[in-house]
């Protein structure tokens, strides 16, 4: 696993440490890893939303879309 050293302003450093002390995270590293993972998921969601908006209006009905999704789930 790679290491990354960062500098934080004192109030942020204190807040991160308080989250660890309160038992929300095992370490400050775990906390930052979770923040980065959440940011990645958020960015992927934003990209999907933008792509959806830019793709235009579908000609398929809601029922068609649901049936297609169910078929895909059954297919595995």
In a domain, 65, yes or no: yes
Global confidence as pTM: 0.68
DSSP H helices, 1-76, are 10-21, 28-54, 62-75
Q: How far apart are CA 25 and CA 17, in angstroms?
A: 9
Q: How far apart are CA 30 and CA 12, in angstroms?
A: 15
The range of the structural domain enclosing residue 18 comes to 10-75
Q: How far apart are CA 27 and CA 20, in angstroms?
A: 6
In a domain, 58, yes or no: yes
In a domain, 47, yes or no: yes
In a domain, 45, yes or no: yes
Quick one: CA torsion of 43, 76, 71, 56, rounded to 10 degrees? 20
Q: Both tokens of residue 53?
A: 């908006």
pLDDT digits (tens, 9 = 90+) for 17-74: 999 999 999 999 999 999 999 999 999 999 999 999 999 998 999 999 999 999 999 9
């Amino acid at each position: 696993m790679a290491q990354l050293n960062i500098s934080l302003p004192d109030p942020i450093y204190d807040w991160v440490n308080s989250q660890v002390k309160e038992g929300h995270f095992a370490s400050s590293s775990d906390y930052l890893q979770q923040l980065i993972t959440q940011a990645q998921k958020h960015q992927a969601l934003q990209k999907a939303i933008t792509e959806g908006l830019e793709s235009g209006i579908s000609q398929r009905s809601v029922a068609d879309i649901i049936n297609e999704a169910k078929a895909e789930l059954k297919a595995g």
